[in-house]
Structure 1
Amino acid sequence: MERLSLVFSFTIALFQILQTVTVVTAQSPAPAPAGPTNITAILEKAGQYTTFIRLLKSTAVADQINSQLNNTNNGMTLFAPTDNSFSSLKSGTLNSLTDQEKISLIQFHVISSYIPLSQFQTATNPLRTQAGDVSNYAFPLNVSTAGNQVNFTTGIDNATIANTIYTDGQLVVYQIDKVLLPLSIFGPHPPAPAPAPSKPKKASRSSASPSSDDASSALYVKVHALESFAVAAAAIAAFWL
């Protein structure tokens, strides 16, 4: 009877140990498999970014983003317009762009640094995107905030951050409600510089001074007149004598 009691106690203790091990194992899930960051995969998972994904791929900007994220420690901020945002553009807008303009358009939605939502409140305008030049008539992008709302203006249209799609401390992707249209592509051309004042023309030698032929003719006239005057004077003198 005593042996049976010991076996029963051992069985209970073993059961409790196994139960504890099971609980610890369940609370420690296996880490997710690591893999390179892929911006188009992030957008595909989020949905409603078909047009933006197509442009990222056709312009090779997606490859550039993935390369920077996976091969450097540099951060990146991406503004992703939804399919509805592209649908609201004037018909034929994208088809009217050259290949280089499409590249610049997509680069205008990328900043080569990681900007959390709260940092837009202290950001310096204009923001420099991968499109480059931020001067007037080029690619200026200005940001303003009102409470938790973040707004952008390009000089052509205005957009607002609607949602944070993805963030990992190096990459942040924001959903925006409009396509950012840069001045360089969609705006008026800068005014042409004023023409330089014309210089007064110098008088030609022919009009400023007489030619040698004219001078010779004038000298002949003078000599002939003096000879005629002398002949006339001599005739008068002879008459009075």
Structure 2
Amino acid sequence: MMMKQLLLSFSALLVFLHFTTILAQAPAKSPAQAPAAQAPVLPQAQAPALTQAQSPASSGPANVTAILEKAGKFSTLILLLKNTQVGEQINSQISNTYKGLTLFAPTDAAFSNLKSSTLNSLSDKQTLQLIQFHVLPTCISLSQFQAVSNPLHTVAGSSEQFPLNVTASSSNQVSISTGLVNATVTDNLYTDSQLAVYEVDKVLLPLQVFGPKSTAPAPTAPATPKQAPPTTITPVVTSSAMGLIRHAALSFGVAAIAAFSL
């Protein structure tokens, strides 16, 4: 009896030790963790579509000569801007005027289409007026040309002396007329709040410089006073006079003979 009780106790102890070993070997379960929060994915900012040429932000004002040099086909215009000092005036004024400036830039091809004597025949003053005629004293965007009032005022002078007419369609197709030349804006080289530079396919020739010169009427010669017609002298017919003398002498002779006959 004692033996059975010892065996039962020993069996119970073995069973207890077996379950204790199983529990000790089982891995401990970690408490459930919430998934790590993810930062919301933000849409990438996209630059707005530009309808006009813009330059990257710079530390200083725009330089019109540098803009044209970068384009690479305006060597004649650059030379004229330097010789007339209009380029320096543009660079200095765009930072000092709130209205800004607009430059119509003819390409080298546009200058080459001129007659060879066109530029060489100009005086220094006329060359300056020609380049200033390509500059507007206001910065005008392509879309703003649709609302401008013609003729436009240029740096060359008043709109009466140097008329320039600019028209634009709804698609920003800009046409320019000087009275001698009809040109078209073919590219937008640069635009910011103070300066706009547009490529044009022809040199803008102002009427004031290249138009027909009005000639003064020739002075009228003073009227020559009328002279009295020369007096007509009737020539004496000698033969008639001699006939009369002879007739008178004959009559006198006849009368004398008759008297002596008595």
Q: TM-score range by the shorter chain?
A: 0.5 to 0.7
In the alignment, what sits opposite 1:160? Answer: 184
Q: Does 1:72 align with 2:97?
A: yes
Which whole-Å CA distance do the structure 1 matches of 2:177 and 2:103 have between them? 16
1:33 Cα offset (Å): 5.2
1:187 Cα offset (Å): 0.5
Question: Are the equivalent residues in 2 in contact too, given 1:114–1:171 (CA < 8 A)?
Answer: yes
In the alignment, what sits opposite 2:74? Answer: 49
1:62 Cα offset (Å): 0.7
Matches within 5 A, 1:159-238: 159-190=183-214, 192=216
1:159 Cα offset (Å): 0.4
Which whole-Å CA distance do the structure 1 matches of 2:151 and 2:57 have between them? 39
The equivalent position to 1:112 in structure 2, one of 123, 137, 157, is 137
Which whole-Å CA distance do the structure 1 matches of 2:216 and 2:116 have between them? 30
Which whole-Å CA distance do the structure 2 matches of 1:154 and 1:165 have between them? 22
Q: What percentage of residue pairs aligned between the two structures are identical? A: 59
Question: Are the equivalent residues in 1 in contact too, given 2:62–2:195 (CA < 8 A)?
Answer: no
Which structure: larger Rg? 2
1:32 Cα offset (Å): 6.0
The equivalent position to 1:124 in structure 2, one of 146, 149, 161, is 149
Which whole-Å CA distance do the structure 1 matches of 2:140 and 2:178 have between them? 18
1:94 partner SS: helix
Bigger CA drift: 146-155 or 61-70?
A: 146-155
Q: Does 1:100 align with 2:112?
A: no
In the alignment, what sits opposite 1:16? Answer: none
Which whole-Å CA distance do the structure 2 matches of 1:113 and 1:195 have between them? 46
2:158 partner SS: coil
2:117 partner SS: coil
2:120 partner SS: coil
Q: CA RMSD in A?
A: 2.8
1:194 Cα offset (Å): 10
After superposition, the C-alpha distances for 1:155-200 in whole angstroms (9 at most, x for unaligned) are 111100001000112101000000000001110124648989x9xx
Bigger CA drift: 90-99 or 187-196?
A: 187-196
1:133 Cα offset (Å): 2.5
Question: Are the equivalent residues in 2 in contact too, given 1:68–1:74 (CA < 8 A)?
Answer: no
Number of matched pairs:
171
Q: Does 1:146 align with 2:169?
A: yes
Matches within 5 A, 1:18-37: 34-37=59-62
Question: Structure 1: which 5+ residue stretches go unaligned?
Answer: 1-30, 199-241
Question: Are the equivalent residues in 1 in contact too, given 2:146–2:170 (CA < 8 A)?
Answer: no
2:109 partner SS: helix
1:93 Cα offset (Å): 1.2
More helix by share: 1
1:37 Cα offset (Å): 2.3
Question: Structure 2: which 5+ residue stretches go unaligned?
Answer: 1-55, 223-262
> Normalised by the size of structure 2, how large is the TM-score?
0.59
> Normalised by the size of structure 1, how large is the TM-score?
0.64
After superposition, the C-alpha distances for 1:90-134 in whole angstroms (9 at most, x for unaligned) are 112111111111100000000011111011111111010001132
